Structure 1
Amino acid sequence: MIQRFAISICAAALSLTTASAWSQKKYGPGVTDTAVRIGQSIPYSGPLSSYGTLGKAQLAYFRMLNDQGGINGRKVELISLDDAYSPPKTVEMTRRLVEQDEVLAIYGTIGTPTNTAIHRYLNAKKVPQLLASSGGTKWNDPKNFPWTMAWLPTYHAEGRIYAEHIIKTKPDAKIGVLYQNDDFGKDYLNGLKEGLGARAAQVIVAEASYETSDPTVDSQVVALKAAGANVFVNLASPKAAALAIRKAADIGWQPVQYLVSISSSVSQVLKPSGASAASGIMTVLWLKDTSDTQWAQDEGMKWYLDFMKRYYPEGDPNDLMVGVAVSSAHVMAQILRQSGDDLTRENLMRQAASLKDVSPPLLLPGIRVNTSPTNYAMIESMQLARYDGARWTRFGEIMGRR
């Protein structure tokens, strides 16, 4: 059964970055003098239903904007449909949004395989595919796919960072890799291998994949230990990542561990794994850890916690995914502001490709959102961090373009 969530957001005029956007009213599908409609598909059910909190948080964010007056004098309707993280269902939901609901843009659809399923369709129809919740490298391809732009830092770049750190700190590394058997996991794996370079074939002693429908990853973790790995690179989505960390502890395997940022939630992954099991794991961060008391007096964190209390009280403020979703919604709102009264699909993409130093409240200091017509990667900066059993402790320099 399709779950459909819709909200209306009143809006008040806000300043634009260019005066030309105000010159005359130009509307695309789903836009009138009083309304603009966008849509997304989210796994509210199925094996990755935990990701449903992203859609709920984004609906809450726009509901907040409604109460505050909103964006540029218009109501905004976000239509959020359940695709169960099934690519065929994503196609069905997206076609419905474009052809029946006539949305101006597709926003925030979750997943690499799901976004891949609608990638060519949306570009052929010239419908913006904005802030896709995926870090696939292929989304930054404005020459061949000018209508697609992702939100997350690329998995490929993240994999390279882990490889660089392993090379510098573990000369005797024997790497075991767990990865999700789809574009999501393979992009991370390819980045890791590229970062390792010619030595990849020698230092990666075992690779183990899993399907999103698998109830456990126990056998995969046992196989990685049996291969003699002393470094465990955990390229898994949250549920599988937590199971793998727990299993490694249960079988007495104590390798150096790296965990992908998409699964680095303290409350949803590390604490369920057990403090002792997760202690010492490394990841990269680009958002403030919402469970970390070091940010207690930070203005952005204060805003976020107040937002959660008022607009999404049923959500977990310490869930990394909620912070990712709210930050994404902040950027989508900025794109709409910059578009002014030229709410055509073409101008929406122009504005999305001209973001300058946008700073959602939860981004780490020194990290900003910047795009250009030739570089669609919204975030290219990350910092290594180590879990001490209670929180992530950042170390080293911010890496990548700021």
Structure 2
Amino acid sequence: MKQVGRWAAVALGLCVSLAAQAQILIGQTAGFSGAVAAGVKETTDGAKLYLDAINAQGGVNGQKIELIQMDDKFDPKLAAENAKVLITEKNVAALFLARGTPTTQAIMPLLEQYKVPLIGPSSGAMVLHKPVNPWVFNVRATYQREAERAVQHLSLIGIERIGVIHVDDSFGGDLLEGAKKGFAAVAKNPVFVEKYDRAKWDFSKIAPLVASSDVQAVLFMGSGNGVVDGVAAIRKAGSRAQIVTFSNNASGGFVKSLKENARGVIVTQVFPYERSLAAPIVKEAHDYAVAKGLEGVTPAMLEGYAAAKVLVIALRRAGASPSRQKIQQALESMNKVDLGGLELSFSPTDHTGLEFVDLSIIGQDGKFRR
């Protein structure tokens, strides 16, 4: 009996060991603190709505997905360090939902070096789309398309005098290129183009310029707290210009940070209206959110939710042992995949995924309206 007991204990220990190993490790480095923390939290919360639901159903091919997260504070150097730890020490099968253009650029050399796919970077930078990086898989439209559409919309509703403020980094430069295309398309020029430092912003000179120039609208290309402080400075200087910012700021946390300056701010969007339950992806995400005690989802949550769906589809297609290369191959095989009213396609020559762009305005109730 003692011998049987020992064998039973060994068997039990082996089962526990195998169960512990039966997980798919996915890595995320993002600014969970710092200037973009509110947006990062909401995007990640959206992803977890779907990942938690999949894990509750038994996971993917019998393996649960474990998301290993590291805070890079929106700092490119720290993002690269985190990514290396996730890849070489944590042995993640893929990276997921990196946040920001400079931070994502900082980890791209590691993707090629270690042959690791990055799924759903929360950035619409053109550098992540063209030339096609074999290891980067986007699940959203480009920033350039957003900026181009914003300028065209303002022109269409009769706004003639438009200024541009952009953060002085690759993200801001990318959006600026899109805005230039928009201005060219409507045969207009910006009244001014001003830039600010991404780490130590100061709007003491820019805000009075906005007020004295009498512009009707300002395209504000920046992230989180930088935009919040800039808008406050512009309003304090006396300007009532229409503020337009972009999908990287499409979070409830950003709206709350704006406080009394939120109402009337236009924010471009890269996913369907988050309160339109007629859209299957919105209805699905909304139901999971309500089941967790939430009121619903935000645009940022939808971005994370869609990225998580793409991740799970890739893992399923990669088979029982989803290696990094198998996941990459599975992603490139996706053609006209329905995410719930949104059709996503990848190929070896196109890693854009989705091209949906729309505009919203923040209402008196602090909600995005379209």
Q: What TM-score does the superposition give when structure 2 sets the normalisation length?
A: 0.82
Structure 1 residues 90 and 286, CA, compared in 2 at 3 Å: closer, same or farther? closer
Q: Note closer, same or farther for the CA distance 1:387–1:108 as it changes in structure 2 (3 Å cut).
A: closer
Give 1:191 deviation, angstroms.
0.7
- Show the counterpart of 1:10: none
Aligned residue for 1:204, secondary structure, equals coil
Contact kept in structure 2, 1:206 and 1:229, CA below 8 Å: no
In structure 1, the residue matched to 2:325 is 346
Q: What's 2:120 paired with?
A: 131
**Structure 2 residue aligned with 1:203:** 189
1:18-39 deviation digits (Å, cap 9, x = unpaired)? xxxxxxxxxxxxxx98332221
User: Alpha carbons of 1:334 and 1:269: their partners in 2 closer, same or farther (altered >3 Å)?
Assistant: same
Say whether residues 1:228 and 2:214 are aligned partners. yes
Residue 299 of structure 1: how far off its partner (Å): 5.8
Contact 2:140 2:270 (8 Å CA) reproduced: no
Q: C-alpha distance in 2, partners of 1:250/1:316?
A: 34
Q: Structure 1 unaligned segments of length 5 or more: list them.
A: 1-31, 395-402
Superposition map of 1:241-320 within 5 A = 241-265=227-251, 267-270=252-255, 272-273=257-258, 277-290=261-274, 292=275, 295=276, 300-311=281-292, 317-320=296-299
Task: Confirm or deny that 1:187 pairs with 2:174.
Answer: yes
Tell me how far apart the structure 2 counterparts of residues 231 and 345 of structure 1 sit (CA, whole Å). 46
Summarize the alignment of residues 374-389 of structure 1 with structure 2, pairs less than 5 Å apart. Answer: 374-389=349-364
Q: Structure 1 155/339 Cα, relative in aligned 2: closer, same or farther at 3 Å?
A: same
- Deviations along 1:236-268, one digit per CA (max 9) or x if unpaired, are 223333334444444432224322122233x33
CA distance in 2 between counterparts of 1:102 and 1:270 reads: 37
The whole-number CA distance in structure 2 between the counterparts of 1:310 and 1:392 is: 22
User: What fraction of aligned residue pairs are identical, expressed as a percent?
Assistant: 23
Partner of 1:6: none
Deviations 1:140-193 (A, max 9, x none): 2465x211222332111111112323444437x232112222111211111101
Structure-2 change in CA distance of 1:309 and 1:175 (3 Å): same
How do residues 152-191 of structure 1 correspond to structure 2 at under 5 angstroms? 152-170=140-158, 173-191=160-178
What secondary structure is seen at the aligned counterpart in 2 of 1:135?
A: coil
Asked if structure 2 preserves the Cα contact closer than 8 Å seen for 1:179 and 1:235, the reply is yes
The residue identity in structure 1 corresponding to 2:121 is A
Trace 1:325-344 onto structure 2 (pairs within 5 A): 325-341=304-320, 343-344=322-323
Alignment CA distance shift 1:179-1:317 (3 Å): farther
Give the aligned residue type for 2:312.
Answer: A
Task: Flag the structure with more relative contact order, 1 or 2, with Cα contacts below 8 A and sequence separation at least 6.
Answer: 2
The partner residue of 1:98 within 87, 91, 105 is 87
1:243-301 C-alpha deviation (Å, 9 max, x unpaired): 34444444432224322122233x333455357x54444343332444x4xx3676654
Matches within 5 A, 1:206-217: 206-214=192-200, 217=203
| 1:206–1:268 CA distance, 2 compared to 1 (3 A) | same
Q: 1:322 aligns with which of 294, 301, 306?
A: 301
Q: Conserved in 2, the CA contact under 8 Å of 1:135 and 1:151?
A: no
Q: 1:385–1:393: 8 Å Cα contact kept in structure 2? A: yes
Change (3 A) 1:51 1:263: closer
Which one of 31, 42, 48 corresponds to residue 30 of structure 2?
42
Spell out, residue by residue over 1:323-377, the C-alpha distance to the aligned partner (whole angstroms, 9 max, x if none): 322221122111112222362322311221232344445xxx5x42222221110
Which residue does 2:73 correspond to in 1?
84
User: Size of the alignment, in residue pairs?
Assistant: 349
Q: Is the 8 A contact 2:118 2:136 kept in 1?
A: yes
Larger Rg: 2
One-letter identity of the residue aligned with 1:373: P
Aligned twin of 2:343: 368
Q: Which has the higher helix share?
A: 2
What's the C-alpha RMSD, in Å, of the aligned pairs? 3.0
- Distance change in 2, residues 1:357/1:241 (3 Å): farther
After TM superposition, the score normalised by the length of structure 1 is 0.76
Secondary structure in 2 aligned to 1:152?
A: coil
Q: 1:104 to 1:63 in 2, by over 3 A?
A: same
Which residue identity does 1:330 align to in structure 2?
K
Q: Is the 8 A contact 1:111 1:134 kept in 2?
A: yes
Identify if the C-alpha distance between structure 1 residues 302 and 167 changes in structure 2 by more than 3 Å, giving closer, same or farther.
closer
* 1:148 equivalent in structure 2: 136
8 Å Cα contact 2:165-2:221 kept in structure 1: yes
Deviations 1:305-328 (A, max 9, x none): 4423445x5x78554322322221
Could you give the per-residue CA deviations for residues 80-123 of structure 1, whole angstroms, max 9, x where no partner exists?
11111111111111111111112222121111111101112211
2:15 — aligned with what?
Answer: none
SS of the residue corresponding to residue 345 of structure 2 reads coil
